[in-house]
Structure 1
Amino acid sequence: MSTSRNVAFFGTGLMGFPMARRLLEAGFPVTAWNRTQEKAAPLAALGAQVATTPGQALERADIAILMLAHAEAIGKTLLTAETAPFLSGKTVVQMGTIGPEESKTLAAEIASHGGRYLEAPVLGSVPQAEAGKLEVMAGGEKALFEELLPVFRCFGPNPRWVGPVGAAATLKLALNHLIAAQAAAFATSLALVQKAHVPLELFLEILRPSAFYAPTFERKLPVMLDPLHAKVNFPAKHMLKDVRLIRATAEALGINPTLVASLEALFAATEEAGLADADYAAVARVIAGQ
């Protein structure tokens, strides 16, 4: 694929901005759109065009990449009467986190307007997006995935084709479930030792060389200790959205949702505590009863 193909990038938030920047650095012409335009404006200094409407961005593009918060936002952006006519002949790549059934519905909608569709959610956070080290997982036609490899390699070195539409979306939810569960489990353990006045460093000295240690514990420890002043890599409100998708998908597959329901309750309480825009590790405050 030539880098002369024009890319419309929808959603230039925490993850989308560095991803769009990497496309520009690789030589792809990029038109950026974001609901709050000031988040897309800095890309202009890097060579991007900044569209004022979704239709304007899509009209210029061969490929549309979506890094939007949820399926509802996608519908309000692409599937309106003003924008949908521009989908004909376009390739739409959905890279945010949505449910597998939502992805299948979106694929059908795109096809009905004459476009092609691939889901390609990513695993990783802001540092990985900035460094081009995201895990890209694609679902859809394998030939389309292979056609888009030059784009995906801007985001991560080893893009993977998972299977049909819905497969990659499910895989992403399975992985995000582990992220949410690990955060809640680690926060609970921290609260136990801190409230019992067990030295935190002793707990960590025993944990670090153990078989059940996870690198994410080290990264999230300072956030859990001071979530109100920590850099946000993934907001708690987005984790709550993902956990709700995980629960719905688990229930649809006949999986006992008890654990996921507990995670949903914890992240809902985090949002209710005014921490929706804090990093998801702020769930530690709720767990500790702060």
Structure 2
Amino acid sequence: MTDAPVIGFIGLGFMGHGMAKNIRQGGYDLWVRGRSNRKPIDSLISLGAKEAESPKQMAETCDIIHLCLSNSPQIEAIMRDADGILAGARPGLVVIDASTADPASTEALAAELAAKGGHFVDAPLGGTPVQAEAGQLSAMVGCDEDVLERIRPVLDCWAGSVRRIGPVGSGHKMKLLMNFIGLSYGALFSEVAVLGAKVGIPPATLREVIAPSRMGNGFFDTFMSYVVDRDPNSHKFSIENAAKDLGYVNDMAAHAQVMNIMAGAAQQYYTHAMATGHRADYVPLLSDRVAALNGTDLAKLAPAKT
């Protein structure tokens, strides 16, 4: 790898666009590949990025490739397809997977890339799209220490905090533990808001009491911004992705032979929301689904105060 590595980026969604923009503004040559939405691609091309024809071409051209995709099947296809990264991989290539993924899949892909002389790094994200645009995400990194030191200057373009968790796969395990907490909050807060409304404590009053207490937190704040203020964009993370991540948590627990009643219970709400046509809704809207199951309309009750 040269002193100024060529960087690739695949997956230009809410998080990926900001990350790639900051890499380009950090002075690196950048190759990108997105989907049908041309807006983020054209935005980055206007900054001097080049568009790759395939992941294979990107692997043949770049020294470090970032992935920021929705799930492990997408990651596996990008890596293993006939025109995928493994087909073009050469010794020294580093693939940084910033997605939230199945750790077992991550470890398998790492072994396949290692056989080609490359290095797979899991670096899932903490933060929001606003922080992605500002270059202030956090990265939970799984890789060898020497690999981290090689890629750290690139990570520093988009991350305000970089922490090595352990070997390959440990970053994705840590991210799943975080999402297990947050997405369980989503199910818990939905139940609490609905139960409160049914017994005469409207959501606005609930927020006024809980937010400043020791039980308040950032997730509660953004969640209740929808429940009370009806801001549908307060927390841009889809119910489909939530169900996927909790599925990975359950798989991880099964692999570790750990009983996981809470994760299984939380997943049921997200699965029901998907089954009833709400997979694209953001997580705070789960509260409406739980309300409907209990014959309650939170939108009518949210602004009321005692």
Normalised-by-shorter TM-score class:
over 0.9
Amino acid at match of 1:14: F
1:6 and 2:9 are equivalent in the alignment: no
Residue 112 of structure 1 deviates from its aligned partner by: 2.0
Q: CA RMSD in A?
A: 2.0
Match runs of 1:105-184 below 5 Å: 105-184=108-187
Cα deviation code 1:81-133 (max 9, x no counterpart) = 23323111211111111122111101011112232221111112212212222
Residue 225 of structure 1 deviates from its aligned partner by: 4.8
**Unpaired stretches in structure 1, ≥5 consecutive residues:** none
Residue 3 of structure 1 deviates from its aligned partner by: 7.2
Report SS of the residue matched to 2:265.
Answer: helix
* In 1: Cα distance, 2:230 partner to 2:79 partner: 35
Aligned length: 290
Cα deviation code 1:50-82 (max 9, x no counterpart) = 223222322221101111111211121121223
2:263 maps to: 260
**Unpaired stretches in structure 2, ≥5 consecutive residues:** 298-306
How much identity, in percent, do the aligned residues show? 25
Does the CA contact (< 8 Å) of 1:232 and 1:278 recur in 2?
no
Cα deviation code 1:129-180 (max 9, x no counterpart) = 1222211111111110111111111222220111111211111110010110
My pick for the range that moved more, 198-207 or 122-131, is 198-207
2:291 maps to: 288
Report SS of the residue matched to 2:277.
Answer: helix
2:23 maps to: 23
Instruction: Label 1:268 to 1:189 Cα distance change in 2 as closer, same or farther (>3 A).
Output: same
* In 2: Cα distance, 1:118 partner to 1:110 partner: 10
2:79 maps to: 78
Amino acid at match of 1:284: S
Instruction: Label 1:200 to 1:50 Cα distance change in 2 as closer, same or farther (>3 A).
Output: same
My pick for the range that moved more, 272-281 or 11-20, is 272-281
* In 1: Cα distance, 2:203 partner to 2:55 partner: 50
Amino acid at match of 1:5: P
Amino acid at match of 1:274: G
Residue 194 of structure 1 deviates from its aligned partner by: 2.2
Does the CA contact (< 8 Å) of 1:64 and 1:91 recur in 2?
yes
* In 2: Cα distance, 1:256 partner to 1:5 partner: 44
Amino acid at match of 1:32: V
Instruction: Label 1:201 to 1:248 Cα distance change in 2 as closer, same or farther (>3 A).
Output: same
Amino acid at match of 2:282: D
Cα deviation code 1:7-42 (max 9, x no counterpart) = 110111111111111111111111111232524232
